[in-house]
Amino acid sequence: MIQSFDLGQDHFALFGLPRTQALDTERLEARYRELQAEVHPDRYAHLSDAEKRQAMQWASRVNEAYLTLKDPLKRARYLLELAGHDVRLETNTAMPVEFLMEQMELREAVAEAKESGDIDALDALHRRLRRTIRDEYAALQAALDGGDRQRAGELVRQLMFQEKLLQEIGDALEVLET
């Protein structure tokens, strides 16, 4: 029954998973399906309004937790939050100079490729950035699971930049390919 749930649980506890960046995504998916089946509001349609609201709250909570844990960047931010480490996304804009220079060069290359309609150049930039992001996520996992919250926070901020640029390149490719 739905009363057995504890609203105070963190997302990892809710899904019965360890608090680590390295996550068994198959186990997450399976547990999500189990929880959704258990708390789906339709199962409680015949109950009181209060119990229906509780089921809705739980279904929303399960969805929110799942979306957070499923996304490696959101999961990292959540782990840092649980550890009491403020990533300071709004106030800490300091980035390593090398990283900023690389981002500027990538953005310029993307702008030139978009302007000239060079799909091959955009595709190459997309592949290059995906490799970089993959390596950054590996470093993020090592930092988080190794307890280096400061480094993890830096990587989270960098990955936010990189993910946004990757999306922009993907959008440009989509426009040029149609």
Q: What confidence score (pLDDT) does residue 55 get? A: 79
CATH of 2-70, one of 3.30.470.10, 1.10.3720.10, 1.10.10.60, 1.10.287.110: 1.10.287.110
Nearest CA to 135 out of 158, 114, 119 is that of 158
Q: What confidence score (pLDDT) does residue 45 get? A: 78
Domain boundaries, the chain: 2-70, 97-177
- pLDDT tens for the chain, 178 residues: list them: 455 567 678 999 999 999 999 999 999 999 999 998 888 777 777 778 887 788 788 888 999 999 999 999 999 999 999 999 887 666 666 788 999 899 999 999 999 999 999 999 999 999 999 999 999 999 999 999 999 999 999 999 999 989 999 999 999 999 888 8
Q: What confidence score (pLDDT) does residue 2 get? A: 52
The CA distance from 176 to 116, in Å, is 10
3-state secondary structure of 158: helix
Phi, psi of 45 (to 5 degrees): -60, -25
The CA distance from 59 to 35, in Å, is 8
Given the structure tokens 């186990």, which residue do they identify? 27
Q: What confidence score (pLDDT) does residue 18 get? A: 95
Task: Note if the pTM is more than 0.85.
Answer: no
Q: What confidence score (pLDDT) does residue 3 get? A: 52
CATH class of 97-177: mainly alpha
Reading the block at residue 69, the tokens are 């844990």
Q: Where do runs of H (alpha helix) occur along the chain?
A: 11-15, 25-39, 49-70, 72-82, 97-116, 119-145, 149-177
Nearest CA to 27 out of 37, 40, 17, 12 is that of 17
